[in-house]
Amino acid sequence: MLFNFRQHSQGLTSDTWNLKFPLFEKILIQVPSDREEEQRISSLFKQIDKSIKLSKIQIKKLTSIKQFLLQNMFI
């Protein structure tokens, strides 16, 4: 999709590229035709989101433990 965007965009450099609707509407994209496949993809993203959330919670807890240990190191 990025290739198509770059190919149809107007502008001199990447920070000034502009994709106008008449060219945008001509870009073809692939959409899964199988509902089951869409659900599997959705499920995968939900699992990834859950994993990221749990990792963030774990990082928070470990950061808190680290802070406590550093504060009590020389008591």
**Per-residue confidence (pLDDT) for residue 25, from 0 to 100:** 84
Burial of 19 (0-12, 13-18, 19+ CB in 10 A): middle
Q: Can you read off the two tokens belonging to residue 5? A: 């965007």
**Per-residue confidence (pLDDT) for residue 2, from 0 to 100:** 74
**Per-residue confidence (pLDDT) for residue 49, from 0 to 100:** 98
H/E stretch holding 70 reads helix 35-71
Q: pLDDT tens digits, the chain, 75 residues: what are they?
A: 778 777 778 777 777 778 788 888 888 887 778 889 889 999 999 999 999 999 999 999 999 999 999 999 877
